[in-house]
Amino acid sequence: MAVRVQREDFNIGRELDALTEGNPGIGGLCSFTGLVRDIHGDAGVSAMTLEHYPGMTEKMLLEIEAEANQRWPLEQTLIIHRYGRLLPGDRIVLVAAASAHREAAFEACHFLIDWLKTKAPFWKVEEDRSGEENWVQARASDDSAAERWNK
């Protein structure tokens, strides 16, 4: 199990290899990588800055990870979330879930990203192409996606 909040980029292949290394009981590994888009609604995006409160953010990510491990029989989980100024195409987040069986890995990965999007304390500011900055508001679609896990 691993949770990291970091400024630095990450290597997806290296992270997933490390997650499964030495564990032949893993039969399924599911991952999701989130990237900065160059558009939000009708506006072009030239950069995004993510802010967080150190300590509080990691604590919440650990709680999300623990919840996934209570719901599914997982061998390993991984959450990496970046902060700082990122450009379109940059990686923001990597979540992964490994289990003996694929269904648990798929469901847990989906759960991890849904809850991360709605419960993790990150604040995002997008720069449009004119240099104007706008705070990113929570999206109802993210809340709807996460709601299915409350049942």
pLDDT digits (tens, 9 = 90+) for 64-121: 999 999 999 999 999 999 999 999 999 999 999 999 999 999 999 999 999 999 999 9
Phi-psi region of 144 (alpha: psi -120 to 50; beta: other; left: phi over 0): alpha
Task: Report residue 84: phi and psi, to 5°.
Answer: 100, -170
Domain boundaries, the chain: 2-150
pLDDT tens digits for range 120-146: 999 999 888 777 777 777 667 777 777
What's at 104, amino acid-wise?
A
Alpha-carbon dihedral angle through residues 56, 76, 68, 146, given to the nearest 10 degrees: 80
Give the predicted TM-score (pTM) of the model: 0.91
In whole angstroms, give the CA distance from residue 38 to residue 28. 32
* 2-150 carries CATH number 3.40.50.2030: no
Rounded percentage of the chain residues whose pLDDT exceeds 90: 77
Angle at 40 (CA atoms; ends 133, 63), nearest 5 degrees: 85
